Chain A
């Protein structure tokens, strides 16, 4: 019985925190298309956990990358993924598509 109670308690805890964090998590969507990253500029708050969803609309594969944050996502055409970043410091972070390094750029401005 005690074990069951404890399990229920833990399950409840997971449920609560899961809902809480899902509600708080600020999500921004990024689309990569024809070697361009859209938007080219994205402002996010500093010191907060954020989520970037990334979708590759093709035509070729892409690699969404930022060297400073060690983010590296390889996406086939049509594929999507996401990355969660914890507590960024104010500043600007340059993301690019490694397969189109000259045409693609997204500046993540953290304020």
Chain B
């Protein structure tokens, strides 16, 4: 439940950040009223797109059966994990210059329709990401009810609105940077748990090559005496972070690869581009 909340919180905060930047830019324009209408229309259109994608996902799910359904679900879980990593790296790379880029786009676009299109794209992007993440999370953690996910999503949205409002008021104790750094770490951990869920499912369907069996598919070690992943704190860690008391070798390899690539990717691709440094120095 907690991971659904975090995902929705972060995604909504990103969307609100975009809307906030554009609203501030619009307020400085000579004729703000139509632009503002265009912006809110864009918000609605973006949300609409996300909802359509959500329905399409569930429609696809209800059309599929047996192995195809399993493949679709595993695909979605792994896709969600990859998408989280991609999003974190993208924000690390572009987040700092987002304001500047958005304002450039806004001034290049002609009028209300252009503003609406920029907003719609941004909101649709965050919205569709949310749909994919929530779907993957719902499959990842067993026993999640739709109602619980909706409640968590609503709480996440409210939290985003609150933190956005607090930051906009200029609170010193909260900054976007701290919030985004914190959510980055949480999101990457969630991506790791999605990866674990995907691999567990693949093992359950016997899809991994039989050459790996039993050395890499059987449990590699057993820490259930120390921390049982079936109840209590271990259970929370299992659903939230992908902890396994008896991990298969292939899961350990996947984790190692995941964290190496992700942290390496963040260190390498996530660097602030050179010209931004130069611009800052000036």
A residues in contact (CB < 8 Å) with B: 13-14, 17-18, 20-21, 49, 51, 65-68, 70-72, 74, 76, 79-87, 89, 98
B residues in contact (CB < 8 Å) with A: 65-66, 69-70, 139, 142-143, 197, 200, 203-206, 209-211, 213-214, 217-219, 222, 224, 230, 246, 248
The answer to whether A86 touches B219 (Cβ under 8 A) is yes
- Shortest C-beta distance, B255 to chain A (Å), equals 16
Q: A18-B210, A86-B214 are in contact. Are A79 and B203 (CB under 8 A)?
A: no
Contacting residues, chain B, for A83 (C-beta < 8 A): 204-205
The answer to whether B230 touches A79 (Cβ under 8 A) is no
For the complex, what is the distance from the CA of A97 to the CA of B127, rounded to whole Å? 32
Contacting residues, chain A, for B222 (C-beta < 8 A): 89
The answer to whether A71 touches B210 (Cβ under 8 A) is no
Contacting residues, chain A, for B206 (C-beta < 8 A): 51, 82, 84
- Shortest C-beta distance, A34 to chain B (Å), equals 21
Query: What is the number of contacts between chain A and chain B, taking CB atoms within 8 Å?
Result: 61
- Shortest C-beta distance, A13 to chain B (Å), equals 7
- Shortest C-beta distance, B118 to chain A (Å), equals 40
| Complex: chain B residue closest to A18, CB-CB | B210
The answer to whether B203 touches A21 (Cβ under 8 A) is no
For the complex, what is the distance from the CA of A107 to the CA of B65, rounded to whole Å? 26
The answer to whether A14 touches B209 (Cβ under 8 A) is yes
For the complex, what is the distance from the CA of A98 to the CA of B209, rounded to whole Å? 31
Among the listed B142, B209, B224, B248, which residue makes an inter-chain contact with A72, where contact means beta carbons less than 8 Å apart? B142
Contacting residues, chain A, for B210 (C-beta < 8 A): 14, 17-18, 20-21
The answer to whether B66 touches A71 (Cβ under 8 A) is no
